[in-house]
Structure 1
Amino acid sequence: MSDSHDSFPFSAATLLAQAHGAIDPATDAVVPPIHVATTYLRGADNSYPSGRVYSRADNPTYLPAEQVLKALEQGEDALLFASGMAAACTVFQALAPGDRVIAPTVMYWALRNWLQQFAAQWGLELTFVDTSDVNQVKAALAQGPTRLVWLETPGNPLWTVSDIAEISQLAKQHGALVAVDSTCATPLLTQPLKLGADIVMHSATKYLNGHSDVISGALVTAKNDAFWQQIRTLRGQLGAVPSPHDAAQLLRGMRTMHLRVREACNNALYIADRLQRHRAVKQVLYPGLPDDSGHAVAKKQMHGGFGGMLSVRFRGGAKVAIHVAANTKLWKRATSLGGVESLIEHRASIEGEGTPCPDDLLRLSCGIEQRDELLADLLQALESAPA
């Protein structure tokens, strides 16, 4: 990526490494300071010269990370949140009762569950469709006025791919906004706003931070409009903000994101390619594989890699999947993704009743370890699996 980035005309790698050129003007420090103050001084005229009132709504420690994200996504504004869920939920809470929302059948399970509960309470009309099929989205849009189309691509945990550009064009014809959960693609692989989306969401806990030690979320908007201002207002009213220390820690993690994501992508493609040939494997779900159903669209809208996430389905069913997860030595059995360490999880057990996730599936988050060792660890666990 070599486009101009919001007055920092260098590559994404350089932008990240230098944190958008952030230098503390008070001390010339190359690392921005952490501001822990909760309140700000009024001027003699009773105004707030700094533009800040109270840290429930904003904190200057957020700005460096927000500026980096705004530049990477090439949007007009960015906001940090206390978590990815806080960021996503705020978008829906900015809608009005009676608004119609289209969402994918394959998406982050916690958000899907929250939507099913919140939509009824708030009066949103919710329609789930397979957004990897543009015709299903088109048919859903034709059913009636729609306020928002929510996409997640690649979609966790089946890694389905939705065509952001085509769906955004369709949505605009119907007067609908498009928001994209791009957590697993990261701004380095996909830039939804350039493809026509209105808002992009990241669970910054994952690849943006990348060290499994910060909970945070982020939104970036194509336009600083009235809907965005409603989101900003809600963030302050709800106090859905990260701590200053988490914001600083997030920026630190982002400075090496280009290195981590590149290695995770390379590891995922290598492991996906090798595992799909194994006799015990029924299917490998990874958009980087040429025969994957989403490969053509992924190749069109993902640049520099196909992500560090894949899922594997086993011929022996759930008993084999659970055995493999229980017998790896390098792969850690834990929820989450996008860290430097490789994680493995039996998602159907986590998601429970109603999940679209098959019980023969393991979700793999590839870290930055040596790929041959990661593959060997999976293979040794498979060798002792029940027939």
Structure 2
Amino acid sequence: MRFMGGDYVEEAVTGCTAVLSSALERDWEQVRAGGLDWDCRRTVAHIASDLLAYAGQLAGRAQDAYVPFEITVDGSGHSLDRAGNTGLVQVVETTGALFAATLRTTPREVRAFHPYPFGSADREGFAAMGVAEVLLHTHDLATGLGLPYEPPAHLAEAVLTRIFPHVRPGPDHWSTLLWATGRGELPGRARLTRWRWNNNLVLPAARLTLQGVTPAAAADLRAGGDGGFEWVEDGPFEGTRDAAGMTVKAYESGVHRPEFGLFVLVRREDGRAVGGMGFHGAPDEDGRAEIGYDLAESVRGNGYATEALRALADWALARDDVPSLFATVDRDNPPSQAVLGRAGFVRVGGDGVLEGVEEGLLAYELRG
């Protein structure tokens, strides 16, 4: 899977500065940036500020808040408001280069603070947010200045499949991204007045982290790739690829709830992915959510599945909308049955076939 990083940021910034460079003679303070309340000058400053802030979050490994600094033009302390249009474009180019370099040197497992929606993001999440800021505000600027602008489709797709997992794909990636951020319309969908992107959820366990799989990673796993993870030698197992396919199907249907999707289990000691675990979908009308899991064969017998299942179950049952969890397992799979038992699940349905459960499977439940 291609890493979304510095190359994407540089491409987005190049498109932005090309638009701005064609309007250097204009008075940006006198032109409103599209549908924003800001003028074009302030919007350009905002782009640069975001790129630098994201670089700072990752470089400084900030964990609890934004790093408290702001952008200036040079060491003399002159504010960004003193710069001319050419200087502002140079600042966007420079902050883009700094952010791209930071992304290229940040390890995959690093996460830093960002509030939406789970309190942190990894390097791909920050890259997607940075590219989104550049693409969308360049659109705002071009609209205000009366200039043509449409970014490459793969940039919009990369943003959508990483930080808009809850948005059903539309007829094309750019118009979908504009709709998803309240800037456009799509046939059959109401125009949005409020929106927010969605970084992946990561849950901690003692020896593992459970890392939410984005639609981009799920599509790669389904196609036989690594999903952007470094796997143990015999991973991922077939069940993880099947679950990735379910994630892609839910995303394409517009019913994907990312916190109730697939998680990859990553070992803390070496950053290697050892298996997959997650939900078969959002909770049903009774609030019951079904869980499934598998591990690469080489790491079985180490308690990883039990540890991960306890962490995922604790997270789910702490929610108000999930009173119970459900799982099924083959009758001839005692090790998996033992995992469920150690995690607190109890067998339901007796020796007969439980209604709605496929023959040959045993049903287990854990109530909050």
TM-score > 0.5 by shorter chain: no
TM range (shorter): under 0.3
Q: Which has the larger radius of gyration?
A: 2
Higher helix share: 2
Q: Taking CA–CA contacts closer than 8 Å with sequence separation of 6 or more, which of the two structures ends up with the larger relative contact order?
A: 1
